[in-house]
Chains A and B, each alone.
Chain A
């Protein structure tokens, strides 16, 4: 089992470290042919405007949707924005793979970034995890088929629909690989 991490820009190395801590083979994906060998893909945090341009410039943009029909895709922060059906402000072209509307930089600038406890329900009862929110987006609307699985206060911060998993925060910047384990389990179910 090999999971790809989109490695055009952002904190992709942190995601690779997380997957390796779970003894999963992780490869950086910079080209379409590298994606072909993966059975799951993580889109990291970074700048969504930059990522869209880089995805187009190497003809990777159009490969993501067909890939997601077969294999799970997990987006954190900028990755979450790219997977959303609708971007409410500062529009960027997204893959429209999950029925949510998302607001970019919803909490403000970097001085409003924070790390606080979040509640998650990953199938084994409620658990508290660390949520690192960096110039984070906010989920404004969830479609009918979308399941909320983590919360910060009243805000939904992690959702799932079919093969797509989305977090507005950065589990890759914490000490816990619990959320990556959840994604890896999702990939294993498809094998």
Chain B
């Protein structure tokens, strides 16, 4: 066969003919990587070498190349620093997320693993076929076993299947690490197009690890009886049962049930809705072949809260987000039907934009890299000054002089301290909020609100006039200010007031664990704990007296006092430590808050945007001839913009004749004026010229009309006439 002309290895196009030729090739190589990459090494040693060379040759370089080359090198080096910073930060975040999700699923995974072993042991008790029986090309039937297969239905409780993919990948790895043979198939294999043969081929490929041309289950039976493969459970994971073709899956199950003695496969099905979903997919005679067990995974909200706790609170100095960004991400999570994967991606985009847009963010990346090497947990002024000096010129412009650098290092240290105190306070509130089913993501958003913080501070200002000690909880005004703050935090405080004493003791113990490393808060908690012990002492002393009449009343009063003291502790946290870093200097270094940019990059809205482009053409191009007139239809306006504006005047069907006449009327407005002017000096020759140009103009107008319709068709805003209605185009989009 002759080589295909579609593969074109061309150099960068230098002539028009080459460009035209490339335009009509299905694909072509625009260019290959240049050898300049050899000069750029990502290692630190390479960077240092390059920097030294740059600094040493600066005077000479300035003479020869000027500032442009220097600036280009700076930008190049700076972007490399940006990428390294992003890689470091996101690697930490991603690792944290994986650990959290693995821990969340650990209990269920262990249960499944135990269940698998029990099923496998039960299968062994049924007896094992001989080698001769196992290698036969037909199944072995056992009267005592009607061909049932052990099956686990794992309820994922996800609306979207994308989260299930990751979960079942982890499950597969987990079970493999515990000595199981694991095959993973998706609903794509169980499609009517693929058929039962495709399923078998995919199954064999998963277990045997190589492509198999023939769909023969006896191959799997022979493979399983080999020495190294024997004595291990055979597991088949299908993560999206509800998306499988029912008939194909039924045939698959019926076939495997006949081979269950030789190939004792254990099924693990992912179910998104309810564990009874299998009844909607499989007929009863297939269900009879399954011996079901049920497992339940955590909800998306639980996973989300765990991620927020680990990434944005416990590691809040790695990467942080502003209030508006937090609210946007929360709404994004809800709008994406609780898809954790979508939230993680949004967080990654936020991280990307942070290092792309904020020059000072590079400092943070480098400090984290240094922390990894030396195990430091806090920034030191010397380290910070070192990195500021190492920044390329374009980033150094952000920091003016040495005194500013010094104040920056001090400010950063304070910033990190405040952020850690803030996160500890939020975690304490979250522990208290668990009794009122507060979601951490909601609490997180509220805790980041600068306005709410200022409101709380102003509400508590009156209380500051009095003693701040815990004993001031008797002041009804202060109690009122805490309660009236409303929102989630107010709800938490109200709940703490009412929880029983036993739960309150547990809560205080949780607070003790959370604040162990934070002395500012831990000292206050100790005071509360000492009060608790005093109250316990009082209670014991009172009980020793033989004063039965007063005993119940005293105990109730003491318990209420304890609750009020806990509220006082929370109030102390709120007033002193729940201060968002968004209002502090240098918070931009690790805090991202450009929610508008995040929304633009994360969520494309072509349906709306393309229509706005056409209707607000003048705002984008800003041409002088159209901007003044606003939305008026002028001949100078873009043809497609005119056409789409005219389309708004029609219903869902656009009469092509009317559309064309309207377009023509607008386009020839200016030319009619020209004709009127030319008629002032009539002559035979000029009349002929006018007629000729009129014909050309008519062709041009029609051509422009056709092109505009084609462009609207490309965008999908207009559908072409059908045979039934040859004179009408159909509008597709209504409203923005």
Whether A associates with B in a native complex is no
